[in-house]
Amino acid sequence: MDHKDNQSPQGETARILVEFLEVAITSIVFLKGVYPSGAFERRRYMNLVVQRARHPQLRDYIHSAVFGLLPFIQKGMVERAAVIFFNTDGIPVERFVFKLAVNLSYGSKVEEADLEFTLRSFLIKLSVSESLTKVLPCDYRWEITAYFRSLPEASANKDVKQWIPTDARQWEQPPLLTPIKSMSSKPLCVQLYIEHPSLSEPKPQNGEV
């Protein structure tokens, strides 16, 4: 890929972040055991052993979704990116949320090595976080959702068209958060936490469809 057009610090940050997200999301999907482990292969990223989807469709979905965010992340429009697991009723069971904050006023050169060093800790922590997650019901789906600070104008950019407004259902009660990892550096702050429905949340089977 050509990186020449992303020479601004934010472009650089966004590029690194997006790559990281691609790997991290794949790791989450692997972690949750959505697909048989044979669907993944071991790869090295940031000098860590990570998983990568072998199925081209799965790979493309994650890749295109995340890279579709690139221009928006660069502009600081994306507030959160979430991997949402939901049951057949479309009610979320578990959400992995990446809260992003790209420093738009950061002016100096981004040291890729420094960023990678901190981002790596996410992947390490993720790989041992299975106990924090919930066992998913037998029949469920997942999707990648991005939360924008403001809705981009559809006409302005054709990248936007790839993104459709989600109709994923929300929880009625504020969820319970379990932080996994946080990092903050000058150019970029990322936090990863898991959201679970609050205990007082009406059970999925009770809720109307």
Sole window of 30-38, 83-91, 136-144, 194-202 interacting with another protein (rule: CB under 8 A): 194-202
Kindly state the smallest distance separating residue 184's Cβ from another protein, in Å: 4
In 14-49, which positions are buried (b, 16+ CB within 10 angstroms) versus exposed (e)? bbbbbbbbbbbbbbbbbbbebeeeebbeeeebbebe
Q: Interface residues for another protein in 30-89 (CB under 8 A)?
A: 43-47, 52, 63
Residue 85 CB, nearest approach to another protein (Å): 16
Q: How many residues does the chain have?
A: 209
Q: Indicate which single residue of 113, 138, 156, 164 sits in contact with another protein (rule: CB under 8 A).
A: 113
Span interacting with another protein, options 16-24, 27-35, 81-89, 157-165, rule CB under 8 A: 16-24
Tell me: does residue 105 bind another protein (CB under 8 A): no
One-letter amino acid at 192 equals: L
Q: Which of residues 131-190 bind another protein (CB under 8 A)?
A: 174-182, 184, 189
Helices and strands, number each (H, E), in the chain: 5, 7
Separation in Å, CA 133 to CA 49, 175, 198: 21, 14, 14
Q: Which pair of structure tokens corresponds to residue 78?
A: 């994306």
Strands (E), 32-130: 40-45, 48-53, 78-87, 92-102
**From the CB of 141, what's the least distance to another protein, in Å?**
22
Chain positions contacting another protein, by CB under 8 A: 1, 3, 15-16, 19-20, 22-23, 43-47, 52, 63, 99, 101, 113, 117, 174-182, 184, 189, 191, 193, 195-196, 198
